[in-house]
Amino acid sequence: MTTAPAPPRRSSARALRWKLRREAWGRTWAKFRANRAGMVGLAVLLVFAVIAVFAPLLADSHELRVSAASGPILAPPSRKYPLGTDDNGRSILTLLIFGARVPLLVGLMATVISMVIGTIVGMASGISDGWAGTVLFRLTEWFIVIPFLPLALVLATLLGGSLLSIIVVIGITGWPATALVIRAQTFSVRERPFMERARVLGAGPWHLMSKHVFPNVLPLVFANTTLTVAGSVLAETTLSFLGFGDPTAVSWGTMLNAAFGTGAVSLGAWWALLPPGICVIVVVLAFTMAGQALEDIVNPRLKEGR
Amino acid sequence: MTSPSISTATHVDGLVGPGFPHRRSRLAGRFSRRFVLTQFAGSACALMFVIVVNFFLFRVINPHPERTLGRGKARTAEDLEEIRRRLGLDESLWMQFGKYLKQVFTGDFGVSFQYSKPVPDLIGERVWPTLLLVLPATVLSIWLGSRLGSRQAWKHGGRFDRSTSAFATVLYSMPEWWLGLLLFMVFAANPVFGVFPIGGLHSPGVAPMSVEGVADTIWHLVLPTTTLTVTYLAEYSMIMRSSMLDVMGEDYLLTGRAKGLSDRQVLHRHALPNARLPMTTLIALNLAFTVGGAITIETVFSIPGLGLLTSEAMRIPDLPLLQGLFLVFSAAVVVANMVANFIYALQDPRVKA
Amino acid sequence: MTQLLRIEDLRVTYRSGRGDIAAVRGVSLSLDQGRSLGIAGESGSGKSTVASAVLRLHPRKAGVEGRVEVCGKDVNSLTWGALRRMRWSDAAIVFQGAMNSLNPVRTVGEQIAEPILVHRPETTRRACDLRVAELLDMVSLAAEHTYSYPHQLSGGQKQRIMIAMALACDPKLLIADEATTALDVKVQAQILRLLRNLAVELELGLMMISHDLAVLSSVCDEVVVMHGGRIIEQAPGPRVFAQAKHPYTRALAGAFPTIGDPASRYRPQGLADDPVTVVDDVAEREFAAQCTSLDGDCLVHKPEFARYAHGLKTGCLRAEDLGIARTESTVAR
């Protein structure tokens, strides 16, 4: 197709392809809009994204400094501190607003890493019949067996606790699940007639991958990404809770770590425990709902109104 | 003598009892030598992979592990050199790998920095609390989760399904340790409702091996086990629900109804035994995540098991101990996966076992 | 002779998210002991819905009107308990064995014995064993197959198992729903012979459902042709090909090559399109568009379903033009 020396036809084919793709995305969006849970999830995510981005406008970042904290220690909610204060006398609300940044940033960045590795490995192992595909598949399978948290903890211990290392740790521990999903999808794409046609026309493996397989697994990658972010946010929170993470950055996980470590939970200071926990749940739930809505659209067999 | 799933299915409706002539012992001669060998070889490969990863992690990713010790606390150059020699880091990578392999196969994982005890001894001591916590929680959650999930799917779209599925999704989105903290705050630390102990496995002054001691330990385990069970249950019920929904379109359910079976009989004899198949596979895949729960929940409830040991070892960081723990956790998952494959083969006659 | 099955003006409507679908729209049939009736039609014609209505197997949400009597019992007014007792002991269905009609994780012996133990819980283990062996023998399968799992059997063997299973509780009425579809021609012939012989030997009423008119005409005393949820033609089995006048029936007949006539394979005949939806009047309009000899009069004048010579009943307006004599006036359809 790309070797045909007929410029006008070629450009029109490309235009047609773009038009079809635009229409496909439009249809997906229309279906997504009809999915109530998905739309709720998306709306919640937008709210949290706005909070994270505009945190400095919503709250005073000076209040984050322990030395500048002026409030009473572990005070219950009051008019001045709507969600109470932590063990250093800082406003929980302020911490909560700034604490949204790290989980979202780490969640998204780590997901990008897992998706890139997972998609490449998944497609490669799905498209190649030879030993390379087998080796990649076995590798994925073995990686899936390695327990996630111990691996992440060991990696975090060895790499040290910076934001970047947490992103890398979560990113490289999260890819195998994605790889398996993408591999399965690649297999089903391979069986479709247009692949046969492209092969007969002399398309090489690279062309097949980039022009035929990738566009067809892309929607699934998208749905899977959304679900993976949910897992990455949970992972970030868990690692921070266990004491890994940038000690200088505020995140919901470190807030919970402090609440546990300094005895706020034992003292019954529910305002130190509930707000960050509920925020984590709401964000993870929102990503899950949006992701499931996308999955239903991409893979209607899963739903089928049964 | 028979596979667990089939026997529960038939006991539930009680109709098959003595009348069913067609059940030969399924275990006797069920597994061919070839199947057993393949399974063991596959697991051995996975274990080998884990062993290599373990070495890679601790020696290659971080070629100067001695510097992470004490988390950046200043040490003199001589101190670091001493530690390097003690860890055998002054030799070539291949030499180290050879030594490491020898260590692994002789069960010698070195001495814990923190406890000054051989790592295998330490792990051996601490493995029991973890098993006490994880095994009941896993069994309970699989049992309850599959009941819940199949009931949801059987009446899918109904009020029960919608409310419990929504609840399961929320639980699924919840970090298990946060639920643990919540239960801890309300039922252990609270002066009014706090009827459960705040942590550990034994109350002081109670002999662990006496009747009271056992009851005391169970009492200590109520909250952590509940936490783990509830969070795993959410996940297993979701898995079971979708497996069941897949099965519900199958023709053999219609055959069953046409034969005059009641809904319950169709469910227990035809739907469940088939829905359990993907469930088994997915539970096996999930086991790798189950280990994480042990780490966080033992930390929250200070249960002296492998999980708490892990989070202590990270803080030092106690590298030999971490290395041993990582290997134990991975090996446990590999073995559990193999067991799951055997169970699957028992449940599904189509597998060439 | 006893009447085993009587269906009067049966109407079944499936409720779906996109509105109601009328799958069966006024079907009347009857079947006596020892007789066989074939129902022909393509997918979506409502023929399988008629079969499931006999045992009230359609989804609970489906709307059912009309009367279905099996061995004198009004199926639609039975309690659940009575309905379950009636299923398989009065009428049994031979499902398509090639599909997933057998549970893959149970031995076929267990599955054959299941209805016996459900309907007669007092049966002893030994009696049940013997009965299963006897049933397997009736369908010419060796007794060892008791311990086989469905995946170990061939398509023909699975179909025989389905037949043995259907006979387990001595039903008087046997419904074969696409029982020979997806089998190769030789096996198909064996299964057909088996079904016919069993029906004669056990004096069963046999209702066969298939899209294959040739199959039905070779086995059944009477054949009805369904389209769009209605019976459009009825004729004596052996004479369907020769006599059928309705253009749809002829199209259905033309859809299969005549064996031994290579030319027929190169002249595929049939309908222009698959009628898929049966939402209200759409089917009629579609049908008008497909009818090979029609000008759309069918839609304007509701065609009468009338009796003609040689046992033919048809709803085709042009039957008389096509050269056969009407014997009686209109019958209800």
Q: Look at residue C311 in the predicted model and tell me its pLDDT.
A: 61
Please state, rounded to an integer, the average pLDDT across all residues of chain C. 77
Q: Look at residue C21 in the predicted model and tell me its pLDDT.
A: 78
The 10s digit of each residue's pLDDT in A222-236 is 888 888 999 999 999
- Per cent of chain B over pLDDT 90 is 35
Ranges assigned E (strand) in chain C? 3-16, 19-32, 36-40, 63-70, 73-74, 91-94, 173-177, 205-210, 222-227, 230-236, 306-308, 313-314, 326-330
- Is pLDDT at B24 greater than 60 in this prediction? no
The stretch A73-99 carries a mean pLDDT of 83
Contact status, residue A159 vs residue B61, Cβ threshold 8 Å = yes
Q: Look at residue C281 in the predicted model and tell me its pLDDT.
A: 45
Structure tokens at A131: 């030993």
Contact status, residue C70 vs residue C91, Cβ threshold 8 Å = yes
d(CA A258, CA A240): 10
Hey, of B68, B134, B170, B173, which one would you mutate to test binding to chain A, going by the most A CBs within 10 A of its CB? B173
The 10s digit of each residue's pLDDT in B243-298 is 898 888 888 999 999 999 998 999 999 999 999 988 888 888 777 778 888 899 99
- Is pLDDT at B311 greater than 70 in this prediction? yes
Chain B to chain C Cβ contacts (< 8 Å) = 109
**DSSP assignment string, B173-215:** TS-HHHHHHHHHIIIIISTTT--S-SSSS--TTS-TTSHHHHH
CA nearest to C95 within chain B: B255
> Chain C partners of B21 at a C-beta cutoff of 8 Å?
109, 113, 125-126, 128-129, 132
Instruction: Pinpoint the alpha helices (H) of chain B.
Output: 4-13, 33-55, 65-68, 77-87, 93-106, 119-154, 159-172, 176-184, 211-247, 251-258, 263-265, 272-300, 306-315, 319-347
Structure tokens at B92: 């070539």
d(CA A222, CA B284): 26
**Residue C135 C-alpha, separation from nearest chain B C-alpha, in angstroms:** 15
**At A279, which helix (H) or strand (E)?**
helix A270-298
Chain A to chain B Cβ contacts (< 8 Å) = 144
> Of the candidates B23, B250, B259, which has its C-beta nearest C118's C-beta?
B259
Q: Look at residue A285 in the predicted model and tell me its pLDDT.
A: 94
Chain position carrying tokens 């706090």: B194
Q: At CA C105, angle to CA C101 and CA C110, rounded to 5?
A: 80
Return the bridge partners of C69, or none: C6, C74
The 10s digit of each residue's pLDDT in A101-151 is 999 999 999 999 999 999 999 988 888 777 888 888 888 888 888 888 888
**Residue A147 C-alpha, separation from nearest chain B C-alpha, in angstroms:** 4
Hey, of A40, A138, A158, A226, which one would you mutate to test binding to chain B, going by the most B CBs within 10 A of its CB? A158
B113 reaches A (C-beta below 8 A): no
A136 reaches B (C-beta below 8 A): no
Higher pLDDT, B353 or A251: A251
Q: Look at residue C112 in the predicted model and tell me its pLDDT.
A: 93
Chain position carrying tokens 């790798």: B288
Task: Report which DSSP code applies to C142.
Answer: -
Which letter, b or e, does each residue of C285-299 get, where b requires 16 or more Cβ atoms within 10 Å of its Cβ? ebbeebbeebeeebe
Tell me, what's the ipTM?
A: 0.86
- Is pLDDT at B10 greater than 70 in this prediction? no
Distances B88 to A111, B64, B91, B94, B320 between C-alpha atoms, Å: 37, 12, 6, 12, 12
The 10s digit of each residue's pLDDT in B107-131 is 888 888 888 889 999 999 999 999 9
Residues A156-159: contacts with CB within 8 Å, 24+ apart? A156/A239, A156/A244, A156/B314, A157/A244, A157/B68, A157/B314, A157/B317, A157/B322, A158/B57, A158/B58, A158/B61, A158/B62, A158/B65, A158/B68, A159/B61, A159/B62
**At A284, which helix (H) or strand (E)?**
helix A270-298
Largest CA distance in chain C: 66
- Confidence band for A268, pLDDT divided at 50, 70 and 90: confident
Q: Look at residue C252 in the predicted model and tell me its pLDDT.
A: 72
Q: Look at residue B182 in the predicted model and tell me its pLDDT.
A: 94
**Chain C contacts in chain B segment 251-270 (CB below 8 A):** 251-252, 254-262, 265, 269-270
Are C57 and B258 a contacting pair at CB < 8 A?
Answer: yes
> Of the candidates C104, C126, C129, which has its C-beta nearest B350's C-beta?
C104
Side-chain half-sphere of B319: how many Cα atoms within 13 Å?
A: 23
> Of the candidates A159, A160, A288, which has its C-beta nearest B173's C-beta?
A288
Q: Look at residue B200 in the predicted model and tell me its pLDDT.
A: 80
C60 reaches B (C-beta below 8 A): no
d(CA B187, CA C164): 61
Q: Look at residue C312 in the predicted model and tell me its pLDDT.
A: 64
Contact status, residue C330 vs residue C308, Cβ threshold 8 Å = no
d(CA B170, CA B178): 13
- Is pLDDT at A9 greater than 80 in this prediction? no
Chain A: list its partners (3+ Cβ pairs within 8 Å). Answer: B
Distances C291 to B55, C109, C317 between C-alpha atoms, Å: 76, 48, 12
- Confidence band for A279, pLDDT divided at 50, 70 and 90: very high
B70 reaches A (C-beta below 8 A): no
Global confidence as pTM: 0.80
Distances C119 to C113, C184, C286, C290 between C-alpha atoms, Å: 10, 34, 45, 47
Please give the distance of CA A227 from its chain centroid, rounded to a whole number.
6
A302 reaches B (C-beta below 8 A): yes
The 10s digit of each residue's pLDDT in B210-228 is 888 888 889 999 999 999 9
Beta strands C3-16 and C63-70 are antiparallel
Distances A266 to A261, B179, B296, B300 between C-alpha atoms, Å: 9, 14, 17, 11
B279 three-state secondary structure: helix
C148 reaches B (C-beta below 8 A): no
> Chain B partners of A166 at a C-beta cutoff of 8 Å?
none
The 10s digit of each residue's pLDDT in A142-197 is 888 888 888 888 888 888 778 888 999 899 888 888 898 888 888 888 878 788 88
> How many residues does this entry show for chain C?
333
d(CA C324, CA B68): 100
Nearest to A35 by CA among A295, A306, A301, A302: A295
A234 reaches B (C-beta below 8 A): yes
Structure tokens at C222: 């009477």
- Confidence band for B308, pLDDT divided at 50, 70 and 90: very high
Regions of chain C where pLDDT drops below 70: 1, 17-18, 98, 243-247, 250-251, 254-333
The 10s digit of each residue's pLDDT in A236-257 is 999 999 988 777 788 999 999 9
d(CA B273, CA B16): 15
Contact status, residue C167 vs residue C202, Cβ threshold 8 Å = yes
